[in-house]
Structure 1
Amino acid sequence: MKDILDLLGRGMLSFIFLYEAYDSIFYFEQTQEKMSLYGLEWRQDLLLVGAIILMLLGGTLLLIGYRTGLAMFLLLCYWIPVTFIVHSFWNDPEPARRLQSILFMKNIAIVGGLLMVWANGVGRYSVKRLFATTRVRGV
Structure 2
Amino acid sequence: MQDIFDLIGRILLSFIFFFEAYDYFAFEQLNREAMTIYGMTWNQDFLLYGAILLLFFGGLMVLLGYRMRLGAILLLVYWVPLTFIVHDFWEEVPNTEAYRLQSLFFMKNLAIMGGLLLAATHVSGRYRLRRLFATTRVRG
Please give the alpha-carbon distance, in whole angstroms, between the structure 2 residues aligned to 1:33 and 1:131.
Answer: 44
How far off is 1:55 after superposition? 0.4
Q: What RMSD over aligned residues (CA atoms) do the two structures have, in Å?
A: 1.3
What TM-score do you get using the length of structure 1 for normalisation?
0.93
Q: Which amino acid aligns with 2:134?
A: A
1:30-49 → structure 2 map (5 Å cutoff): 30-49=30-49
How far off is 1:73 after superposition? 1.0
**Are residue 51 (structure 1) and residue 54 (structure 2) matched?**
no
| Number of aligned residue pairs | 138
**Are residue 82 (structure 1) and residue 82 (structure 2) matched?**
yes
Equivalent residue for 1:102?
Answer: 104
What CA deviation, in whole Å up to 9, does each residue of 1:94-135 have, x standing for no partner?
Answer: 321111111101000001111112212211111022233345
Equivalent residue for 1:130?
Answer: 132
How far off is 1:31 after superposition? 0.5
Deviates more, 1:101-110 or 1:116-125: 116-125
Taking only the aligned residue pairs, the percentage that are identical comes to 55
Please give the alpha-carbon distance, in whole angstroms, between the structure 1 residues aligned to 2:18 and 2:102.
Answer: 22
Q: Which amino acid aligns with 1:101?
A: S
Q: Which runs of 5+ in 2 are unaligned?
A: none
Q: Which amino acid aligns with 2:41?
A: E
Equivalent residue for 1:3?
Answer: 3
